[in-house]
């Protein structure tokens, strides 16, 4: 924490317990046996507490994709070249990526923020250029970011959340793009949880067994290099994270401070969420977890966050695709909660 990010010390907003209790009371009056809709019932009640309304809605959804390259790619931890990050940013701009399709299907607002790709994309319509640097440093032998870069990235996330709030957003989703970012997410999570890299290193973009083993060894070297500086979660983020993870963490924290519900995506987004929860524990109350990623390290991060994701579909694309896929379920929970008739309205006899 430094004088460029004093806002990190602001606590999260309080959950509206009365609205949550009112929602729970409404559930007892709906024309169904209590509990018969399973987890959809407490999900709607939890959203009620977040939104301060006994009948919450998630009609206005903001999806923000943060892109940035990683210096650790020089260690050969990905099957894809770093140029793919910039190429995918262009694909987002053209509307051809998975998250582009999902955002259109959900009628969600999609913004793309380029925090620093090795390959210059040039001006792109629909892409906000907030260049922090040409990718992070190789964290095997140096901190991924300097103090100023970390502040710039976290502030970019905060500003994204503020724009969403001003637009009346009811649910905020952050996604990422960056070759090498499963390695950075694993390193960050290892530092925050004190786990061995063998437990969190996974295939990412499709590494074979030997590739995963090499990734774990790269992470061991990085953790050994930074081992005397990993007590503070902000410092963990600076040394082992990426521009996009820092931005997501900043966005999550700002959402929690403003009282805006968050849907967290997969492994990389959850690593950023874990850093956020370590910086501000009460921010965790504002997080809903969209899905369980097939990336093996995700289950460890979810466990540390005591998170119960809504979906488990074997997805591991990133880009906020898993969280976006869970939005219809959240909308259905709200519709059932808010639009089903009560026993009185339907003139149906209540249980004795």
C-alpha distance from residue 321 to each of 9, 31, 80, 127, 268 (Å)? 31, 34, 20, 18, 12
* Residue that is written with structure tokens 């460029």 in the block: 4
C-alpha distance from residue 218 to each of 20, 193, 245, 275 (Å)? 46, 18, 19, 21
162 is catalytic: no
Q: Which two tokens stand for residue 40?
A: 């959809």
Are the beta carbons of 110 and 99 closer than 8 angstroms? yes
DSSP string, 167-200: TT-SEEEEEEE-TTHHHHHHHHHHHHHT--HHHH
**CA atoms of 336 and 234, how far apart (whole Å):** 40
**CA atoms of 309 and 307, how far apart (whole Å):** 6
Cβ neighbour number for residue 319 with a 10 Å cutoff: 24
Three-class SS state of 287: strand
**CA atoms of 154 and 245, how far apart (whole Å):** 9
**CA atoms of 183 and 140, how far apart (whole Å):** 11
**CA atoms of 55 and 310, how far apart (whole Å):** 20
- 308 by Cβ neighbours in 10 Å (0-12 / 13-18 / 19+) ranks as exposed
- The stretches of 95-146 forming alpha helices (DSSP H) are 98-106
**CA atoms of 95 and 41, how far apart (whole Å):** 35
The residue annotated as part of the active site, out of 319, 345, 350, 352, is 319
The residues assigned a catalytic role are 319
């Amino acid at each position: 924490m430094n004088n460029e990010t004093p806002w990190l010390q602001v606590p999260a907003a309080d959950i509206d317990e009365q609205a949550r209790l009112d929602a729970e009371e409404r559930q007892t009056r709906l024309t169904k046996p209590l509990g018969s809709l399973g987890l959809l019932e407490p999900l709607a009640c939890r959203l009620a507490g977040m939104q301060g309304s006994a009948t919450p809605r998630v009609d206005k959804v903001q999806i923000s994709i943060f892109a940035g390259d990683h210096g650790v790619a020089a260690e050969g931890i990905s099957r894809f070249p770093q140029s793919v990050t910039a190429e995918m940013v262009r694909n987002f701009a053209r509307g051809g990526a998975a998250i582009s399709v999902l955002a259109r299907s959900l009628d969600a607002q999609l913004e793309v923020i380029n925090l620093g790709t090795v390959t210059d994309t040039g001006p792109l319509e629909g892409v906000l250029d907030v260049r922090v640097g040409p990718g992070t440093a190789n964290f095997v032998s140096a901190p991924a970011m300097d103090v100023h870069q970390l502040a710039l990235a976290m502030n970019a996330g905060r500003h994204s959340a503020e724009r969403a709030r001003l637009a009346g957003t009811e649910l905020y989703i952050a996604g990422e793009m960056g070759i090498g970012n499963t390695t950075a997410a694993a390193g960050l999570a290892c530092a925050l949880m004190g786990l061995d890299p063998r437990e969190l290193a996974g295939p990412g973009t499709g590494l074979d067994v030997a590739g995963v083993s090499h990734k774990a060894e790269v992470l061991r070297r990085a953790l050994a290099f930074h081992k005397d500086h990993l007590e503070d979660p902000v410092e963990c983020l600076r040394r082992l994270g990426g521009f996009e993870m820092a931005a997501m963490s900043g966005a999550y924290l700002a959402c929690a401070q403003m009282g805006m519900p968050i849907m967290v995506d997969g492994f990389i987004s959850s690593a950023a969420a874990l850093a956020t929860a370590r910086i501000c524990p009460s921010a965790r109350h504002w997080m809903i977890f969209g899905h369980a990623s097939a990336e093996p390290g995700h289950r460890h991060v979810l466990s540390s966050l005591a998170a119960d994701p809504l979906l488990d579909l074997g997805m591991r694309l990133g880009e906020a695709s898993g969280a976006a896929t869970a939005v219809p379920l959240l909308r259905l929970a709200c519709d059932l909660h808010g639009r089903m008739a009560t026993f009185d309205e339907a003139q149906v006899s209540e249980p004795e």
